[in-house]
Amino acid sequence: MTRYIASRVLQALGVVVGVVILTFVIARLIPGDAAVAYAGRRATPEQLAAVREQFGLDGPVWQQFVTYVSGVARGDLGISLHTKEPVLSDLLRVFPTTLVLVAIALLFAAIIGIPLGIIAARSHGRIGDLITKVIAILMVSMPVFWLAILLQIIFFSRLGWLPAASAYDTKLDATSPLYTVIGVPVVDALLTGNWVIFRSTLQHLILPVIAIAAYPIGAVAMVTRGSLLENLGDEHVRMVRALGFSERSVFGRFALRPSLNPILALLALVFAYALTNSFIVESVFNWPGLGSYAVKSIQTLDVPAILGVTLIVAVMYVLLNLVVDLVQAVIDPRVRS
């Protein structure tokens, strides 16, 4: 087990290093002048030269890369060109809001997707299986930006049931001010007992959570269905059925548990997909998170911020995959072989 853990950790570090190199190269290939983005289009040549010297943009690319990597090793991701604040401070401020949004969306996807997959497997070849497959295909096929706008049109513009944007109704601050604890409105309201704001945050969460969770719901449902059908066809499952075990026991103990490995692996994969989709969803719903920060960074050619966002997404993806691999190794010892 120790050797397996060490091997997976080394592989994870290798992926992170590769991402750092690749994103640095791509960021330098983006057309435009970061110094102009920082100083403004009316800056004089002397001001632009000073900015390039300040941020090390006047040196050769290899020197800029060495400076960047050494800074990352110290926890210094540079200064954002559009907020004028350290990138790490910006990320620590905006990332928790996005992480909570994505985590709730994936939890929602698991709660809906796994039962749908079970229903499809138990009604294999019948109407329940067909309906589940149609729902899953629709969920996987819908573009996230189109779904987000459609949800706004239906539930805000037409029905008026749910709010269209932001993390909560800021008008409530006048009567029930929200005190910051960790910088995530829904969590801050819960921790401080601000139930007025908490209800508002829950209402504002519904539409973006549905938009982000749509693809994972369909993917989880189909993987659960396929894995269950595969395990239900195994010889040991046929044997326990012949021994007289109840259908619930056959599903729960002998089919569903072995199916958890591919489901966990899928959740790790769709986490990265959901995190990147949150960039679009946050723009549509004006959600104050990592996605809005990333879009603004791209619009202003903020290279340090772009690299910081890419790095944190890659690290989160690698860490989650590492955790899933270790959990799979504990659940199924065959994974370690």
- Cβ contact 296:27 at 8 Å: no
How many Å apart are CA 297 and CA 30, to the nearest integer?
A: 13
DSSP codes of every residue in 263-281: HHHHHHHHHHHHHHHHHHH
Mean predicted confidence (pLDDT) in 239-245: 58
Considering only residues 331 and 10, tell me which one the structure prediction assigns the higher pLDDT.
10
Considering only residues 82 and 110, tell me which one the structure prediction assigns the higher pLDDT.
110
Q: Looking at the predicted structure, is the pLDDT value of residue 87 above 60?
A: yes
- Does some domain include residue 271? yes
How many Å apart are CA 38 and CA 50, to the nearest integer?
A: 11
Tell me the CATH number at 322.
1.10.3720.10
- Does some domain include residue 323? yes
Distance of CA 125 to the CA centre of its chain: 34
- Does some domain include residue 192? yes
- Does some domain include residue 208? yes
Counted domains in the chain: 1
Which domain range does residue 111 map to? 87-336
- Does some domain include residue 45? no
- Does some domain include residue 21? no
- Does some domain include residue 32? no
Mean predicted confidence (pLDDT) in 248-256: 59
Helix 2-29 vs helix 303-331: crossing angle, to nearest 10: 160
Considering only residues 337 and 162, tell me which one the structure prediction assigns the higher pLDDT.
162
- Does some domain include residue 306? yes
Mean predicted confidence (pLDDT) in 32-53: 67
Choose among 41, 38, 42, 40: nearest CA to 55: 38
Greatest pairwise CA separation for the chain in angstroms: 85
pLDDT digits (tens, 9 = 90+) for 165-192: 788 888 887 888 888 788 888 888 888 8
Choose among 266, 290, 312: nearest CA to 16: 312
Residue 253's pLDDT band, with cuts at 50, 70 and 90, is: low
Q: Looking at the predicted structure, is the pLDDT value of residue 146 above 70?
A: yes
- Cβ contact 275:41 at 8 Å: no
